[in-house]
A and B are shown apart, each in its own frame.
Chain A
Amino acid sequence: MSQAPATPAAAPSPLVTPAPARQAPAAWRFRPRSLAGRTALVLLLALAVVQAAGLTIHALDRVDLQRFAQAREISQRSISAWRTVLLAPPDRRAQMLAEMELPSSLTATLDDRPLARPDQPPMPLPVARQLRLDLFAASPPRYRPREIITAWEPGGPSFIASLRLPSGEWLNLHIRLPPPRPWHSETFLIAFVAMTLAAGLLILWAVRRLTFPVRALAEAADRLGRDVNAPPMPEQGPAEVARAAHAFNTMAERIRRFVGDRTQMLAAIGHDLRTPITRLRLRAEFMDDDEQRRKMLADLDEMEAMVAATLAFARDDAAAEPTVAVDIAALCRTVLDEAADAHPDLAEDIAYRGPERLTAPARPVALKRAIANLVGNALAYGGAAQLSLSPPEGPGRPIHLKVEDDGPGIPLGELEAVFQPFHRLEVSRNRETGGTGLGLPIARNIFRAHGGDVVLRNRPEGGLAALATLPA
């Protein structure tokens, strides 16, 4: 249903730049809205950072270890290749070298000239130290190479060490350091992924569990809003949660006591007023002046109506009445029939338009009062009451109820204000026309207690329309 504007929309001032529509930047658009989601996100991000750091440390360590092991092997094999070549008879040197088992990262050849050329950059010192080439220099003079030339083949972890034999030949050691393989171990990776998944799931579960009390608190507050006698929250769980629940229950209890006190006080006032009104009614019967008696009884009727309306408004009777299936169409016709009986002069202008039968859950006494208030208002101020009832347009849609009159309508700015208790319009609807100033507030309270609402709108063709909704 279209909501009548409460106040005329304020014209935008030219001095003030209209604020751009609040829209989260793209990066934040996917930020979870729930506390659980946000907490889980932060924890998962932290977990990811910690895991990434751990993984890096592990990988670097592993790379170091691999390098060390490779270098150790290469240096040992290189030395044994050198000794083999040095000690073997010259004619068998090449054959013995070929028969040696060398790791794939090391190739040894016997050539007439060094493969390491002096124009190439020498082997970097850390690599040389790692490969323990200094061991050659430190060996006894008999075994010491006559000359060592190292070279670094640019563009790769490929090095050449050329060692000159006393015979003048060169042992060329071609060393290719293999790229480090930090992810060598499959079991480690599987364990790592399993661990991360387990930690992630644990985080999700724990966060949902820990934020459950917040959701429970919100639900309890919701329930309290609808029904002041809603059952208290269980005061269990972690200390903070139990304390919050206890504080909530204490607050609910205070509200209950306040509402109870107020209801009791109003009931007492109502009761106390009813006794003198009853006495006055009886006294009026003994008055001889018929005219004065009639007027006095009319005054008493008005007083009684005001007391009844005030009590009904203050006690919020709708909340106490059970909800049952009610034929809303029959209810509307009953209200109109009673209005026609009470205002025979206006009977021609009271009409019903809608289905013959329309069942919906409702509190019949309260809803009848609400509709009667709308119809009574239309008759009192608009001289007519056309009630239209429309069944819901689909599942989940509300029932629409409209009461239209032919009166002067209400100024735009007052359409919402008349729902305030005891609010009176200055001009068209003053005290002279009667009424308690509570008819519309009571009607709205009742419709809202049903889960619907009621607003007023001036009809384009003149007159006022009360538009109400009611869940089907």
Chain B
Amino acid sequence: MEPQPHILVVDDDREIRDLLSKFLERQGMRVSAARDAKEARKLWPLGRYHLVVLDLMLPGESGLDFAKWLRSQGEVPIVMLTAMSEETDRIVGLELGADDYLGKPFNPRELLARIRAVLRRASGEPGAAKEPPARAIRFSGWTLEPTRRRLLNPDGAEVPLTGGEYELLQVLVERPNRVLTRDMLMDLLRGRQAGPFDRAIDVAVSRLRRKLEDDGRNPNLIKTVRGGGYVLAATVEKG
């Protein structure tokens, strides 16, 4: 990661734009701000941005259209903001390639954590970040749908997961048959999920096993590795 990431903030509310810029600058980032897509397009060639924070509800050209344009310009990660945390908007946003999504009113610290996580992912795994998000990831009969953030059991019924369980499962299925230590998991999950989850990887794993009907004493799917780690033992198909 570069020492001072350059962030482009696109939001039509002047106060939010200014406060967010100030907040992110205090966290050691360089920030440019635009009030709508038109202004953002003007700013685009003037800098090399590491990430765009984009409000979906913009006057004139919509945030979704601007995101499409951004995608045609390069690999810049996008974190979307919207006052309407409607399911469909989120799905469309994620399918368009937004790297993360936050409903307004957002918690600034959570936004910061997510920005850092997206930046880390973008710089750490250049190959993985370029891939378009898979619609469905299948393993051992189970299906994970990243755009809808849901898990389907072998019968096709939705199995609800907590935010933490979902993130953990996604991290595991993206790296099948690779041993992930607790530290690695924590690192991969940091920023995605704040709060008590950090202290509770083991709890989340045991809950996940229960939901995946994996016997906790003799697990077949999420195996415990001696020395403190976990591995998803399954063939993963993306489609």
Binding site for B on A (CB under 8 A): 267, 270-271, 274-275, 277-279, 281-283, 285-286, 300, 304, 321, 324-327, 330-331, 333-334, 337-338, 341, 344, 356-357, 359, 364-365, 368
Contacts and interface: CB of A to CB of B under 8 A. Distances in A.
A37 B21 CA distance: 75
Given A279-B13, A333-B211, A334-B162, A341 B195 contact: yes
B84 A356 contact: no
Interface stretch (B60-68, B100-108, B173-181): B100-108
Nearest to A267: B84
Contacts of A341: 162, 164, 195-197, 200
Nearest to B15: A279
Given A271-B83, A275-B13, A327 B106 contact: no
The 8 closest A-B pairs by CB, nearest first: A282-B19, A325-B157, A278-B105, A277-B105, A331-B160, A359-B157, A330-B159, A334-B160
B41 interface: no
A269 to B, nearest CB: 11
A321 B88 CA distance: 10
Interface string B135-173: 000000000000000100101111111111100000000
B140 to A, nearest CB: 16
B162 A338 contact: yes
A331 B84 CA distance: 24
Contacts of A368: 160
Contacts of A286: 19, 22-23
6 contacts: A271-B84, A282-B23, A285-B108, A321-B87, A327-B157, A333-B207
Nearest to B88: A320
Nearest to A368: B160
Contacts of B197: 341
B37 to A, nearest CB: 19
A343 B67 CA distance: 38
B210 A364 contact: no
Nearest to A284: B108
Contacts of A275: 13, 16, 83, 104-105
A327 B84 contact: no
Contacts of A270: 83
A114 B213 CA distance: 118
